[in-house]
Chain A
Amino acid sequence: MPAALTSLMGQGLPPEVPWVVFEYPLFLVNSDLTPLSQKMDQVIDRLLSWEPRTKTTGTIIQDPATVSGRDYEETYRNVQSLFLRNKWGDGTSITPPTTNHVNWVLSGTDHESTETVGGGSGAIMPKGGILTYEVLATCLAMAGGRPEHLPVLAAACESIISTDNLMFTSSMSAYPGILVNGPVAKQIRLSSGFGLFGPDPVRPAGTVIGLALWFVLQNVGGLTSGMGTIAQYGEMRHGCLCFAENEDALPSGWTSYAEDHYGRSRGSNSLTFFQIRGGGVRGFTHWGAGSEPSFEIEMLESFHRAASVIKTTPTSGVPSDLAGIQGMLLYPALVCNNMAGIGWDKEKIKKHLSEELFYLLDEVKHRSGILRAVEEKGLDIDNLPQRFSLYTDPERIRLVVAGGDHPSRAMWLPNLIEGGNLEIELPRNWADLLSEAENDLGAAPLDY
């Protein structure tokens, strides 16, 4: 569904629009505008003569679909084809969301199936489709989800109800992320360690919940690739990011992400929803050659490597936010404990890293628009600082203890926008759900 139509639907208009199509190059610098002149009669016709099919306001209800075949296998394949023809899937096999299956997934909430997630309009933008718990469970069922995944997915979706989701529509390929704090993570088999971003058959919750989240955004929100969203590369949208902080392995005296930034108490279950606005995921090597005279030397040299990955010259050559563009820094617990062992706490780590993050005027002067900007504003370039700090506020570096417990690698998620932190609401039958999961999947892993 083209972006314009999605956007109009999000404003509560009918799913139709009078349009005239112009190719992209028309809107670029020094473009040939002849196509616009040539099609003006069509434009005026749409302005003056077009009649919409929809004559009344109301709600368009989506009916179930029935697919048939000679046997179950053929019918199952036909379901896959239906979901792709309708642009409801993503190319992977989906679990057919039958009523029985969706009702099973719905046992993960005490809310009625017809209730809107979050209790308000339930609108997922930009298309403005209404997210009820039934639709939520449908998307989770498609992704292969189980009832115990529903509370985390519901909290994530509640974070995005009625937000404009503008970043997800743009070419920047912003993708969503979920960070979970609290014991619920291990209970539902959500990783805080090795293979953090998935896939992991022992800890499948992250992949499943992330995929379901994208189904909500795509199907209810209209963010269909190339149509409702012009994200050029999509980046981590396939499966999004959904992981937990490794709270049990935090260094002594360290507080969790939810404690630091949202005042949650240790042991409470909460979820931080975030977006990464283009920039993918950027790993860097933490450990050194092995010949360093001390761990501290190894660590200080590692910060150079971290900085080289985090540092990005802004488009104009001038940082748009002097405090620093927020990002999420993931270090495994083993590394954090080593750092803590030599007296480095979170604040010291962030402060030191922020001091490593700068660029020199000479690095960017001839490689960006800075000379044009200086001329436009009538400044003397010799009066500009020779060194620009990229992070005047170290708190813009958001540190999370997560990732496989190995000293080699760490991770930077750039251009972070946080969408808030919500409590994860567990249903009354939580213990029963976990017992059922143990029956089906075996004992939940306890290590991470």
Chain B
Amino acid sequence: MVKTTPTKGAESLTEITVLNPIGAHPIHHLFAKRLGNLDGKVIAQLAADPVKWQPHRTFPLIEDEIKKRYPTATFIPYADFPQGTDIGNEEVAVAVKARGADACIIGNAA
């Protein structure tokens, strides 16, 4: 809609109302509750590729850094799970939960 409104004294004001082109956004899920701390927690790792974007270097470093702060945290390596672009599939999520993971790190550029 285009609207022109005379204003007191000076020039009129023109307005154009435009529709929004980005569409509605559905929120189906909320973020998982934060863990509070990682003591005794089991952390799974998932990798889309064993070497592309350097997960074979970043995952061990992340593991070491977390263990420095939370020595009782344990990890399930990404080699124990499927790799590739299918790591987003429901079957992989089920497998991660079945191994008793409390959290999961997915990388890199997955």
Chain B, range 67-87, C-beta contacts under 8 Å to A: 69, 85
Question: Which candidate, A126-134, A264-272, A275-283, is the interface stretch facing chain B?
Answer: A126-134
Question: Which candidate, A26-34, A235-243, A330-338, A367-375, is the interface stretch facing chain B?
Answer: A26-34
Question: Which B residues lie within 8 Å of A204 (CB)?
Answer: none
- The answer to whether A75 touches B15 (Cβ under 8 A) is yes
Q: Is B36 an interface residue, CB under 8 A from the partner?
A: yes
- The answer to whether B34 touches A49 (Cβ under 8 A) is yes
Question: Which B residues lie within 8 Å of A128 (CB)?
Answer: 25-26
- The answer to whether B69 touches A44 (Cβ under 8 A) is yes
Q: Is B28 an interface residue, CB under 8 A from the partner?
A: yes
Q: Is B95 an interface residue, CB under 8 A from the partner?
A: no
A27-B54, A28-B54, A47-B103 known; A97 vs B30 contact (CB < 8 Å):
no
Bits for B19-51, please: 1 = Cβ < 8 Å to A, else 0: 111111111111100111110000000000000
- The answer to whether A57 touches B29 (Cβ under 8 A) is yes
Question: Which A residues lie within 8 Å of B13 (CB)?
Answer: 68-70
Q: Is B94 an interface residue, CB under 8 A from the partner?
A: no
In Å, the complex CA distance between A46 and B25 comes to 24
- The answer to whether B23 touches A131 (Cβ under 8 A) is yes
- The answer to whether A71 touches B61 (Cβ under 8 A) is no
Across chains A and B, which 7 residue pairs bring their CB atoms closest together, nearest first? Answer: A12-B28, A129-B23, A62-B20, A40-B65, A220-B23, A27-B53, A60-B25
Bits for A197-238, please: 1 = Cβ < 8 Å to B, else 0: 000000000000000000100011000000000000000000
The number of chain A residues touching the other chain, given as a range, is: 35 or more
Question: Which A residues lie within 8 Å of B65 (CB)?
Answer: 36-37, 40
Interface centre among B16, B25, B61 (most CB of A within 10 A): B25
Question: Which B residues lie within 8 Å of A37 (CB)?
Answer: 61, 65
- The answer to whether A215 touches B21 (Cβ under 8 A) is yes
| Residue of chain A at shortest CB distance from B26 | A59
Question: Which B residues lie within 8 Å of A48 (CB)?
Answer: 34-38
A59-B27, A62-B22, A131-B23 known; A36 vs B17 contact (CB < 8 Å):
no
Question: Which A residues lie within 8 Å of B34 (CB)?
Answer: 47-51
- The answer to whether A27 touches B36 (Cβ under 8 A) is no
In Å, the complex CA distance between A10 and B38 comes to 28
Q: Is A66 an interface residue, CB under 8 A from the partner?
A: yes
Interface centre among A11, A97, A142 (most CB of B within 10 A): A97
- The answer to whether B24 touches A130 (Cβ under 8 A) is yes
- The answer to whether B54 touches A31 (Cβ under 8 A) is yes
